[in-house]
Amino acid sequence: MRKYNINALLVIGGFEALECLLQLYEARSSYEEFCIPLCMLPATISNNVPGTNLSIGADTALNAIVETCDRIKQSASGTKHRVFIIETMGGYCGYLASVGGLASGADAAYIFEEPFDIKDLQSNVEHLTEKMKTSIQRGLILRNENSNENYTTDFIYQLYSEEGKGVFDCRKNVLGHMQQGGAPSPFDRNFGTKIAAKAMQWISRKLNESYRQGRVFANTEDSACLLGMRRRALLFQPVVQLRDETDFVHRIPKEQWWLKLRPLMKILAKYKTSYDVSDSGQLEHVVLNRPKESEAMAAI
């Protein structure tokens, strides 16, 4: 940094990029060269970076998974009573397995964030056995690569094969690096262009603000940020504040928005169970008129 006189840094990457930025920020007290504007753009297929709902690359990987799942399901169009067990990537983050399962019509998706036991596996086998009696005689099960160290893809395949004997047969498929590479989806191209442009504007502004006596010096919290999508807004969040939201052991955020979508999978797969996923709220009275804006302002 000193040799090339670098005045600002734009880091593009996944979880390692966040750890890198944190290390640079913490080393500012020892090395003056790191007192420059630092910005990170989240780009990983796993979508496991805290501070953003979506990362660049996750949409493309998801498209590849759904397309592959569709092809695998179509391969069974000539044969009935078949269940496919598919392993997706993503480390400990179950985003690809959950949202991919939702889009491709999976019967279940096993992920690390929602621990599962033998009873869950048993109820899924029973569900598939019942499903084979209907007109849809195919099943699809997704499993995240690190969802459980003991209930591996091979174990689940063998369990389903044994329990489904005489009712359905199984096939397993590890998608592997099929999910990486390929042409980026329109969403990813658009998203990447938008956040890169916004990051460069931010860096230019910070360089102007922190330029003093012929050199750049920025050591505040808000000069080392991650640019992420939170709902509909693109926000710059100091990486120090994201430290508390992160599980560094499993390299995932502590709270993930897509976990609320998971009950939908069971509803769509027609499981016989009860669901209570509603948020509490207050109803407005139908008859009583709302106070007019002028009255409300006067009351304030």
Report the pLDDT value the prediction gives residue 143, as an integer from 0 to 100: 92
Q: Where in the chain is the domain with CATH 3.40.50.450?
A: 2-56+184-255
Report CA Rg, the chain. Answer: 24
Q: 207: how many CB neighbours lie within 10 A of its CB?
A: 15
C-beta separation of 141 from 164 below 8 A: no
The candidate with the shortest Cα–Cα distance to 217, out of 41, 31, 39, is 31
Report the pLDDT value the prediction gives residue 287, as an integer from 0 to 100: 59
Report the pLDDT value the prediction gives residue 76, as an integer from 0 to 100: 77
Report the pLDDT value the prediction gives residue 16, as an integer from 0 to 100: 92
3-state secondary structure of 87: strand
Report the pLDDT value the prediction gives residue 155, as an integer from 0 to 100: 92
Q: Where in the chain is the domain with CATH 3.40.50.460?
A: 60-181
* Token pair belonging to 252: 């995932």
Report the pLDDT value the prediction gives residue 198, as an integer from 0 to 100: 93
Strands (E) across the chain are located at 9-13, 38-42, 82-88, 108-110, 138-144, 169-174, 211-212, 215-216, 224-230, 233-238, 246-247, 252-253
CATH architecture of 60-181: 3-Layer(aba) Sandwich (3.40)
Q: Which of these CATH numbers, 3.90.1150.10, 3.40.50.450, 3.40.50.1100, 1.10.238.10, describes 2-56+184-255?
A: 3.40.50.450
If residue 177 lies in a helix (H) or strand (E), which one and from where to where?
none
pLDDT under 50 in the chain at which residues? 296, 299
